[in-house]
């Protein structure tokens, strides 16, 4: 409960802090303090110290897995705020409000990692989404940003509608909103045909969740929104938010798939979703001219890999999803932070960056290698766990083989940036960066390599 309440409270504090502080630079530090407080409170909660003892009637249930993900989300946001704080300050006069919205998103994240009731899932998704609609359109004078925000809002509402429909049908099928209550024989007798309501509901949920994690063919909003939103907010949307949506996805389907597997072949359905996502994400990313748009499509491709966890649903999948969240968030936050400093965000704009800004180029290389899943970076073990989780099930090996072939395709577009930075001639223009920013990037890169050599530094926390 700590994380949910404190994140909401700190969001309010952030809002009112703009009355007290006139200096824009101060908000970054208030937000950082808030995130540290949240992290500490959440860790306390993990080890059994809940400050707010509220009976939620099992609508929320705290697990080690969910709470640990909260910690990761808060720490990633902290890194994000410290790295990109300056960029946030550039977007208009409402800096404190932007931070407040980020805290509200984190509140949604905390609900999503602990929901045990479909209504809570709905609340979590909405609390998570609404601030994002605003952040997307935060650059008010930018037409593309406005279009993106409206598009995101309309599509998002539509998917929420589907989700509500799904929840209603599941309620009809099982007689409960609790996610771990399976079809009760007492309510419906022995009539097994009723499970079709539950299956239909789950299909609606699948569509809604696939929309939230931008899985194809429900991905159409992603490139436009990621491209149209200010780079700094895209970075947040593509990392913490997306990973949280995956946690909700896996929590929801963990129980339900086993319950309905007699009626519907989830394996086939999910593998089609995965293939479509990998195919569209990777192939479209190859043809992009702008690095920002490439990263948007690549985030679809990465979602395809994370879907492996939803597909296999074993212990490897859960550990892997945590690791994936860490690896992918760190690398993407770093990469977007550098992108935000670039004057020209096409591939040509990166030509010769290694000469003019060696630190930016070197750290960006590590981020991109991690996204591509090269050993010695965190991204390798993230992909490794995803592949291992499917191989462990013993079926659908062709899916794994397709997955690695697409991973090889992904090398193509990530390496285009590396080629531009190191091997092509040009004078890449980047804004002046402070030494603090460089040190931040180096720390993130070092973390990625540390996790890449010894992933246990992250995973051990799940058990101890």
Piece of the chain touching another protein by CB under 8 A; list 33-41, 82-90, 225-233, 453-461: 453-461
Interface residue with another protein, options 411, 433, 449, 450 (CB under 8 A): 411
Interface residue with another protein, options 185, 408, 439, 457 (CB under 8 A): 408
Piece of the chain touching another protein by CB under 8 A; list 74-82, 176-184, 186-194, 390-398: 390-398
Piece of the chain touching another protein by CB under 8 A; list 66-74, 185-193, 282-290, 448-456: 448-456
Give the residues across from 115 on adjacent strands. Answer: 60
287 binds another protein (CB under 8 A): no
Q: Are 66 and 96 in contact (CB under 8 A)?
A: no
Please report how close the Cβ of residue 271 comes to another protein at its closest, in angstroms: 15
Residue 460: which residues within 8 A CB-CB, separation 6 or more?
none
The residue with tokens 């929590």 is 251
CA dihedral 20, 26, 30, 36 (to 10 degrees): -170
Q: Are 379 and 421 in contact (CB under 8 A)?
A: no
Q: What is the distance between the alpha carbons of residues 370 and 331, in angstroms, rounded to a whole number?
A: 7
446 binds another protein (CB under 8 A): no
331 binds another protein (CB under 8 A): no
- Reading the block at residue 260, the tokens are 């309905």
Please report how close the Cβ of residue 375 comes to another protein at its closest, in angstroms: 5
Choice between 157 and 346, CB closer to another protein: 346
Please report how close the Cβ of residue 253 comes to another protein at its closest, in angstroms: 23
The residue with tokens 């990263």 is 295
Please report how close the Cβ of residue 286 comes to another protein at its closest, in angstroms: 12
Q: What is the distance between the alpha carbons of residues 30 and 79, in angstroms, rounded to a whole number?
A: 14
Spell 433-462 as b/e; 16+ CB within 10 A means b: beeebeebbebbbebbeebbeebeebbeee
- Reading the block at residue 156, the tokens are 């998002």
268 binds another protein (CB under 8 A): no
Choice between 339 and 372, CB closer to another protein: 372
DSSP for 38-85, written as a single string: HHHHHHHHHTT--S-----TTSB---HHHHHHHHHHHHHHHHHHHHHH
Interface residue with another protein, options 155, 165, 279, 391 (CB under 8 A): 391
Choice between 26 and 391, CB closer to another protein: 391
Q: What is the distance between the alpha carbons of residues 281 and 402, in angstroms, rounded to a whole number?
A: 14
Choice between 200 and 391, CB closer to another protein: 391
Choice between 66 and 452, CB closer to another protein: 452
Q: What is the distance between the alpha carbons of residues 368 and 377, in angstroms, rounded to a whole number?
A: 10
Choice between 162 and 451, CB closer to another protein: 451
Piece of the chain touching another protein by CB under 8 A; list 10-18, 49-57, 70-78, 371-379: 371-379
Interface residue with another protein, options 44, 404, 446, 457 (CB under 8 A): 404
Of 293, 277, 275, the C-alpha closest to 285 is 293
| Rg of the chain over all Cα atoms, to the nearest angstrom | 21
Q: How many residues bind another protein (CB under 8 A)?
A: 28
- Reading the block at residue 423, the tokens are 């091997």
401 binds another protein (CB under 8 A): yes
Please report how close the Cβ of residue 358 comes to another protein at its closest, in angstroms: 10
Q: How many CB atoms lie within 10 A of CB 49?
A: 10
387 binds another protein (CB under 8 A): yes
Residues constituting the chain = 464
375 binds another protein (CB under 8 A): yes
Choice between 74 and 414, CB closer to another protein: 414
Q: Are 454 and 381 in contact (CB under 8 A)?
A: no
269 binds another protein (CB under 8 A): no
Interface residue with another protein, options 150, 263, 264, 376 (CB under 8 A): 376
395 binds another protein (CB under 8 A): no
Residues that bind another protein (CB under 8 A): 369, 374-376, 384, 387-388, 391-392, 394, 397, 400-401, 404-405, 407-408, 411-412, 415, 419, 422-424, 454-456, 459
């Amino acid at each position: 409960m700590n994380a949910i309440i404190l994140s909401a409270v700190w969001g309010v504090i952030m809002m009112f802090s703009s009355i007290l502080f006139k200096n824009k630079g101060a908000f970054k530090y208030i937000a950082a303090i808030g995130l540290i407080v949240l992290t500490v409170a959440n860790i306390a909660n993990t080890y059994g110290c809940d400050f707010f003892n509220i009976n939620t009637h099992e609508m929320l249930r705290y697990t080690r897995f969910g709470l640990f993900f909260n910690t990761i989300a808060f720490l990633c946001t902290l890194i994000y705020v410290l790295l990109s704080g300056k960029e946030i300050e550039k977007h208009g006069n409402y800096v404190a409000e932007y931070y407040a919205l980020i805290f509200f998103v984190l509140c949604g994240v905390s609900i999503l990692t602990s929901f045990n009731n479909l209504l809570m899932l709905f609340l979590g998704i909405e609390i998570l989404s609404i601030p994002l609609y605003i952040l997307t359109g935060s650059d008010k004078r930018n037409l593309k940003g406005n279009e993106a925000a409206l598009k995101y809002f309309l599509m998002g509402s539509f998917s929420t509608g589907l989700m509500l429909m799904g929840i209603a049908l599941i309620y009809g099928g099982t007689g409960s909103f609790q996610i771990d209550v399976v079809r009760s024989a007492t309510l419906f007798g022995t009539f097994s045909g009723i499970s079709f309501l539950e299956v239909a509901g789950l299909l609606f949920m699948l569509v809604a969740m696939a929309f939230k994690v931008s899985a194809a063919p429900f991905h159409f909003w992603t490139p436009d929104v990621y491209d149209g939103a200010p780079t700094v907010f895209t970075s947040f949307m593509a990392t913490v938010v997306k990973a949280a949506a995956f946690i909700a996805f896996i929590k929801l389907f963990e129980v339900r798939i086993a319950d309905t597997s007699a009626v519907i072949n989830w394996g086939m359905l999910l593998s089609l979703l995965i293939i479509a996502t990998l195919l569209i994400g990777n192939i479209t990313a190859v043809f992009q001219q702008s690095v920002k748009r490439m990263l948007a499509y690549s985030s679809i491709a990465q979602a395809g890999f994370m879907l492996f966890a939803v597909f296999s649903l074993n212990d490897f999948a859960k550990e892997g999803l945590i690791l994936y969240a860490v690896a992918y968030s760190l690398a993407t936050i770093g990469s977007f932070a550098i992108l935000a400093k670039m004057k020209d965000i096409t591939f040509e704009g990166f030509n010769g960056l290694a000469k003019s800004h060696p630190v930016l180029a070197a750290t960006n290389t590590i981020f991109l290698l991690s996204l591509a899943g090269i050993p010695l970076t965190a991204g390798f073990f993230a992909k490794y766990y995803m592949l291992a989780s499917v191989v462990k099930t013993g079926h659908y090996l062709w899916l794994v083989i397709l997955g690695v072939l697409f991973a090889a395709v992904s090398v193509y577009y990530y390496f285009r940036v590396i080629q531009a930075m190191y091997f092509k001639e040009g004078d890449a223009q980047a804004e002046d960066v402070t030494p603090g920013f460089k040190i931040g990037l180096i720390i993130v890169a070092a973390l990625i390599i540390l996790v890449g050599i010894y992933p246990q530094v992250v995973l051990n926390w799940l058990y101890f």
